[in-house]
Structure 1
Amino acid sequence: MVTTIAFDVGETLVSDTSVWAGWADWLGVPPHTVSALVGAVVAEGRDNADALRLIRPGLDVAAEQAAREAAGHGEHLAESDLYPDVRPALAALRAAGFRVVVAGNQTARAADLLRALDLPADIVTTSGEWGVAKPDPAFFARLSAVADAAPAEIVYVGDHPANDVFPASAAGLRTAHLRRGPWGFFWADTPEVAAAADWRVDSLTELVSAIPH
């Protein structure tokens, strides 16, 4: 029996548009250049940070992010960054009796920014607070502990097969693949995702009718 629905953050709940636009401004290139390069590395199965290193070879992304923070151009998150289906979907899932957890690969500061949005969720946390990130199995073990639910009672919802669907499934969780964002669209119809995901959805609002409760 599913008791908990857990969500990835980037390109699941939050659009990364402002993230990449911020990096474009910082690196002095047009936003469409960064977007195109992100698409290119996605198609090759590479880390999205490699898109930034194509612009500035050898870039230390963590150090550069610290420099952005120091210059007042660090992380920010606004209501406008949320996808339109987020609030109604999370609220509907809670009303249906599910525990709703937000847990993705973000910094500890991002956790504070997410909590400030007052989402209809029972728990909001990030890998930065836990000290372990997806696809490490320890991330999903921590999620199970925080949610106080067995892995098989949790559905993990995300757009990225390699970070979300595959490792969550391997850890014993149920999974829902969201066809959203570059990773979600690119791998949506692959046999691997079809085999690993318990559900495949185009919108978060589909979850409340798709998952038995």
Structure 2
Amino acid sequence: MTRPPFADRIVEAVFFDVGGPIYDDENFVSAVLAALDDLRAEQGREPVDWASFRAVYDAVRIAQSGSLRRALAAEFLGDERRRDELHERTRHHWQHPAGSLYADVLPCLRELHGQVRVGVLANQEATVVDALRRDGLAPFIDVWGVSALVGFEKPEPALFEWALKQAGTTPATTVHVGNRLDTDVRPARRLGLGTVWVLRGEAAPEPTTEQLAEPDVAVPDLRGLPRLLLGDGRRQRAEAERP
């Protein structure tokens, strides 16, 4: 019988990426497309061809490495060095509109609430805080690790370390939930956090066996995640506290 992925880990904190696990990544797709079209219009060029855009986007998803904005700048603006310019223009379009919250998020956070410290740990603009409050998630979030507010971005260790300090936990007692290997799973694993790969949004559309072996566990969505994270952890904590 296969042991549960977190059977040997007492989980005290869970950090969530935002795009993919919490909100639909198509919000970012819409924003970066609008930004590309703005910049191309300034060059007197036509809007980006949708099929060509998806080809670049999916190539980065399949590889699970490399900067998407750099690849888009190279392909559609003619110079990968315009990546920062594209990033800045994308910020003005990037929103998480009502209705783009995944239906399994609130039930998951409600079940985790009071059992662990919950944080968001994401490369996002400050406006994401307003969206999370609007959609009723704020009462369940203890740590607001938003890159635009904290000043660090994944995969930098500094953002993970900041969140751990805020949560008052260690890597050994913390799990990170994200949908990319390069900015979520790999940097979290290097620091010793447990890892959950959510296979939606910017995750690889057809993960390889090698990719699936990188996280502690890969899941299609957040349904059942609290049980997966805490089922054995609760038992171990109770045993540890016995006189």
For residues 64-97 of structure 1, the C-alpha deviation after alignment (integer angstroms, 9 at most, x for no partner) is 454566xxx52222232212211111112216x1
Matched residue of 1:169: which SS? helix
Cα–Cα, structure 1 residues 32 and 84, in superposed 2: closer, same or farther, change >3 Å?
A: farther
Q: What is the aligned residue count?
A: 207
Letter in 1 for 2:175: V
5 Å-filtered alignment, 1:1-213, equals 1-26=10-35, 27=37, 28-44=47-63, 45-53=65-73, 54-58=75-79, 60-67=82-89, 74-94=93-113, 97-119=115-137, 120-187=140-207, 189-194=208-213, 196-212=214-230, 213=234
For residues 20-56 of structure 1, the C-alpha deviation after alignment (integer angstroms, 9 at most, x for no partner) is 1233344122544423320123334331113422111
Unaligned runs of at least 5 residues, structure 1: none
Cα–Cα, structure 1 residues 56 and 166, in superposed 2: closer, same or farther, change >3 Å?
A: same
Root mean square deviation, CA, Å? 2.3
Cα–Cα, structure 1 residues 107 and 22, in superposed 2: closer, same or farther, change >3 Å?
A: closer
Matched residue of 2:196: which SS? strand
Counterparts of 2:90 and 2:153, CA distance in 1 = 22
Counterparts of 2:98 and 2:141, CA distance in 1 = 15
Counterparts of 2:204 and 2:227, CA distance in 1 = 21
For the pair shown, the structure with the greater C-alpha radius of gyration is: 2
What is the TM-score of this pair, normalised by structure 2? 0.75
Counterparts of 1:122 and 1:207, CA distance in 2 = 18
Cα–Cα, structure 1 residues 79 and 122, in superposed 2: closer, same or farther, change >3 Å?
A: farther
Question: Greater relative contact order (Cα 8 A, min sep 6): structure 1 or 2?
Answer: 2
For residues 95-118 of structure 1, the C-alpha deviation after alignment (integer angstroms, 9 at most, x for no partner) is 6x1221111111233344434433
Matched residue of 2:99: which SS? helix
Cα–Cα, structure 1 residues 184 and 158, in superposed 2: closer, same or farther, change >3 Å?
A: farther
CA shift for structure 1 position 184: 4.2
Counterparts of 1:133 and 1:104, CA distance in 2 = 8
What is the TM-score of this pair, normalised by structure 1? 0.84
Q: Which residue of 1 is the match for residue 41 of structure 2?
A: none
Letter in 1 for 2:123: N
Counterparts of 2:169 and 2:204, CA distance in 1 = 27
Higher mean Cα deviation, 155-164 or 199-208? 199-208
Structure 1 stretches of 4+ with a deviation exceeding 6 A read none
Counterparts of 1:56 and 1:137, CA distance in 2 = 31
Counterparts of 2:133 and 2:78, CA distance in 1 = 35
Counterparts of 2:209 and 2:126, CA distance in 1 = 33
